[in-house]
Structure 1
């Protein structure tokens, strides 16, 4: 038995060593040449910087062991449906093409960790993309024509970076508070379209960088003051009223203090609404505070949270980063596409 296991292990190592990295980039190819090479032994295939208008269905269907597929900077208008056969694919780069939609079959690429679809003509993402790609860590869809992100995005439980800048986003989907691993979120430069942020953004307790610059946002959600791990906040180019620009210019720490103070002194009409959010913020360890001691009645005490401390951060940055992350739904799902 031990001999058989050793032989099998040796055989697997030999097969792994046989996997090939094939580089056909920058050859001005209009079509792919016929090759005697067994496509099943290809681990990395680079077809970038050519003039390819399509990728044959038969080709992707036979790339059984491909881990990285790079077809950026071509003339592709679509991806083959057979891309769903790439069960081992981890990195897919289709940026710099003419793609208007991704095939639904891409959801079958369950090993996918990085998807780069920047600089295309995407008008929408597959509605159920987040239900299957649970290993996705980085989603880059900047410089497209997206008007919304599907609500299933909230199920991308490994997502760390979401870059959706330079689109036509009018709102962010319900359930984004579930992206508990999200570190970088960039929804900048949606210009006249994006004018609000969800209050639940304060539950993104892993968030390090938030870029919402060059939109039409007038008010930052008070819950942003609870993001104790946030190190960079870019808000340039927005018609901000709250917090006012003189507060913004004083840096992130002051902005968070302002938002926390505003949360603590919400008008009575907003108390009930805010109380439920404060409870969630505390429960999920996003809000770092304690209850103010006083002789007021218990209901009022519950709403008087005071920040214990603030992390020192060097001001604001200019827009440049990407971003975001994911976990399980914490609240009742509502449709984000019907607006």
Structure 2
């Protein structure tokens, strides 16, 4: 037992030493034994009431992760971390960012989830290399007009905020590929989002009633998730999108499947869960590439015979519907190469 304990201690020592030799430190105390060697500082489950100014004195710091704490702001000296390219500040009570954040021009990944951010400084537009920023679960009501200057941005996560619109400068985000706007307060689909290169849009749990026909200009769009809005129809222009493969319309109060859905020939994933559907259209077999259909929690008691023509279908979720025992057995036999879930 003693030998085992010694082996564990030796292993822990060398792991810690290896981390330090790679410039990675997991406490402020360790970091300040060799401040010039610190490239990554990873602080988990902290309880800071005030963000430590001393962190701003690490001249070669490239990645900073701080999880937890009750601090509400960062020191203005934060902008002195000129080599920082990755920033993770999560699960604290941060309400704002210092203007000096704009001096961190090497930043390409920023994660600020689960804070209490009310606004962003205009200086954030200076982060010209920013590739990804996650601002999920904050209290943002608007973004600065200068936000559109982040022209390198590819991934933007804004879910669980208080947004109602987006700045006009968004039209300059030519490289944006993915945006998450779930759980905000949009009543209209932001037409400023009609960016040619966007591939994934998630705007669930808002107050949308329609999607503009101009969505047909988004030629690279692959994924559109619209759950828990009040959308009853979709524009015919969606059928023009040759890369479009994933559509989610759960929780929109649908009584019938929107006509355009069966014209979306490239779909591999279709979710219509949590609606009021009593039947599927016979033309569902037009969707030859469908692999997964989610129809949970509707009012279905049978499926159209044409569904057997969906040769690529391998998963069908029918939980929470009104199928009789006999119809369940019949459906499983009919779709014997598909996982049918009741």
The separation in 2 between residues aligned to 1:75 and 1:42, in whole angstroms, is: 23
Conservation of the 8 A alpha-carbon contact between 2:105 and 2:128: yes
Conservation of the 8 A alpha-carbon contact between 2:56 and 2:81: no
Number of corresponding residues: 242
- Let me know the Cα RMSD of the aligned residues: 2.6
**What aligned pairs does 1:59-138 form with structure 2 within 5 A after superposition?**
60-130=78-148, 132-138=149-155
Q: Deviations over 1:308-328 (max 9, x none)?
A: x97723354589xxxxxxxxx
The separation in 2 between residues aligned to 1:34 and 1:81, in whole angstroms, is: 16
The separation in 1 between residues aligned to 2:68 and 2:98, in whole angstroms, is: 19
Offset of residue 212 of structure 1? 0.8
Q: Deviations over 1:172-204 (max 9, x none)?
A: 333433x222111001110xx211211111111
The one of 189, 194, 201 aligned to 2:205: 189
What TM-score do you get using the length of structure 1 for normalisation? 0.66
The separation in 1 between residues aligned to 2:151 and 2:230, in whole angstroms, is: 32
- The unaligned stretches of length 5 or more in structure 1 are 1-16, 258-308, 320-339
In the other structure, the counterpart of 1:35 is 54
The one of 254, 267, 291 aligned to 1:314: 291
In the other structure, the counterpart of 2:196 is 180
Conservation of the 8 A alpha-carbon contact between 1:234 and 1:318: no
In the other structure, the counterpart of 2:215 is 201
**Structure 1 counterpart SS, 2:67:** coil
The one of 219, 222, 229 aligned to 2:243: 229
Q: 1:240 to 1:194 in 2, by over 3 A?
A: same
1:256 aligns with 2:264: yes
Q: Deviations over 1:159-180 (max 9, x none)?
A: 1110001100112333433x22
1:218 aligns with 2:218: no
Which 4+ stretches in 1 moved above 6 angstroms?
A: none
The one of 166, 170, 173 aligned to 1:156: 173
The separation in 2 between residues aligned to 1:126 and 1:53, in whole angstroms, is: 20
Which structure: larger Rg? 2
The separation in 1 between residues aligned to 2:234 and 2:258, in whole angstroms, is: 14
Conservation of the 8 A alpha-carbon contact between 2:53 and 2:75: no
Bigger relative contact order (CA 8 A; separation at least 6)? 1
The separation in 2 between residues aligned to 1:50 and 1:317, in whole angstroms, is: 40
In the other structure, the counterpart of 2:182 is 165
Q: Deviations over 1:212-260 (max 9, x none)?
A: 111011221111111121111001111447xx32868xxx5x2437xxx
The separation in 1 between residues aligned to 2:196 and 2:217, in whole angstroms, is: 7
Offset of residue 39 of structure 1? 2.6
- The unaligned stretches of length 5 or more in structure 2 are 1-35, 266-285, 297-342
Deviates more, 1:136-145 or 1:179-188: 179-188
Offset of residue 133 of structure 1? 0.4
